[in-house]
Amino acid sequence: MKNNFFKYLSYSSTVAVIILLGLQPVQAVEVKLSGQINRAVMWADNGNDSEVFNVDNDNSSTRFRFTGSEEVNDSVKVGVVWENEFQSNASNKVDIGQENDGTSEFNDRKLEAYFVMPFGKVSIGQGDGAGNGTSEEDLSGTTVIMYSGVGDTSGSIYFRDNDDNEIATIGNTRSNFDGLSRNDRVRYDTPKFGGATLSVSGTNGDAYELAARYSGDFDGLGKITAAIAFVDANKRADPEYTQIGGSVSWLHTSGINLTVSSGSRDIDNTSTDPVNYYGKLGYKFDIHAIAVEYGVTEDLAQDKDESKNYGLAYVIKPWNGVEFYGTYRMYELDRNGTSNIEDIRQVMVGTRVKF
């Protein structure tokens, strides 16, 4: 039934697009190039040893992007997005003991076409699944260095015991359960109804995502953005699972801001249902943004695991397209039957330059 639904969705969308495109003359065409360099120096200490790395900040990797759009008639806009990242020594791939430049990776992020019509937007190709970003709503102004995806800054660093035995990586024990990330999909977004949007996407492995988003700017109260998604990974994951995740972020007119994110996964044939809680309190003023965070993921790598972190971040944006940032994070892992697991500490200082 699900498969039929998505086949019907994709076929009917295609037919609708063809009809609506008609043979109208092109009215406006735009092609744009943009991108960013995001590099940092990172110090990390796993309790037994420490290292300094030159990394590409995986919170928002170095990349470039071509976008093009054309208003083919009064009611249809056709667009394309082609975005690739190019990371040398990504911050989520390094571990203590690495003494070289690591690997350089050229990865596709988005390769999609979209059609904006009066009844909504249809996208096809590799791009954000409907649920991507729903656990990452964040108005703090510090996401370049600190957000709910805590594994992006040091996900491959191992927790070790005091005899230096590897226990688990940060990335294996943490997740913000943020949809299915980017994938090859067909996606439909409704038009905005007073700031609210509904989205659905279907991808390979018969997986699908449903999402709802809302964003509103209130006089006196400030800005609020919220999102929630349901994901059925179906055969795309082994074991299969369903997942629900969401987040809410509020930026008061004073600059004080609060962000919460949470999600959980229901994994087939197991009694382990991992869950994540994340909170951030910040203050944004002038060109500055500061924030503190706390997050915990339970039962992800193993039942009764409790992997948590505390963090502090500062971002300054002195000029157009330029940010400097710094963060301190501490990660802890509590695991049943394993004692003396050392905490991991991390400091990261860097810059993101948009072009």
Partner 1 sequence: MKASNMLTPMVLLVSIMLMGGWSCAGRPFDPPQAGEIPREPGVFTTDAEGAVLYDSNKESLPPASPSQTIATSSAGTDQPAATSGYEEFEAYQQWLLWKKSAVGTPEYEEFQQWREWKKYQEWKK
Residue number, 16 or 281, with CB nearest to partner 1: 281
Residue number, 138 or 209, with CB nearest to partner 1: 138
Tokens of 301: 């790598």
Q: Smallest distance from the beta carbon of 301 to partner 1, in angstroms? A: 17
Using alpha carbons, select from 299, 296, 248 the residue that is nearest to residue 271. 299
Q: Smallest distance from the beta carbon of 341 to partner 1, in angstroms? A: 25
Instruction: Extract the runs of DSSP E, i.e. beta strands, from the chain.
Output: 28-45, 50-56, 63-73, 76-88, 104-117, 120-128, 158-160, 166-169, 182-189, 196-203, 207-218, 222-232, 241-251, 256-267, 275-285, 288-298, 306-319, 322-334, 344-354
Pair 205, 188: CB distance under 8 Å: no
Residue number, 13 or 264, with CB nearest to partner 1: 264
Determine the Cα–Cα distance for residues 141 and 318; give it in Å rounded to an integer: 13
Residue number, 46 or 262, with CB nearest to partner 1: 262
Residue number, 7 or 354, with CB nearest to partner 1: 354
Residue number, 82 or 345, with CB nearest to partner 1: 82
Task: Report the interface residues with partner 1, using CB under 8 A.
Answer: 26, 28-36, 59-60, 63, 65-67, 133, 136-139, 141, 143, 147-149, 152, 192-196, 212, 214-218, 223-228, 242, 244-249, 262-264, 266, 273, 275, 277, 286-287, 317, 319-322, 352-355
Residue number, 160 or 352, with CB nearest to partner 1: 352
Q: Smallest distance from the beta carbon of 103 to partner 1, in angstroms? A: 20
Q: Smallest distance from the beta carbon of 322 to partner 1, in angstroms? A: 6
Q: Smallest distance from the beta carbon of 49 to partner 1, in angstroms? A: 30
Tokens of 323: 């940010």
Pair 207, 234: CB distance under 8 Å: yes
Pair 315, 142: CB distance under 8 Å: yes
Query: How many residues are listed for the chain in this entry?
Result: 355
End-to-end CA distance of the chain: 45
Q: Smallest distance from the beta carbon of 70 to partner 1, in angstroms? A: 8
- Amino acid letter at 168? A
Q: Smallest distance from the beta carbon of 270 to partner 1, in angstroms? A: 11
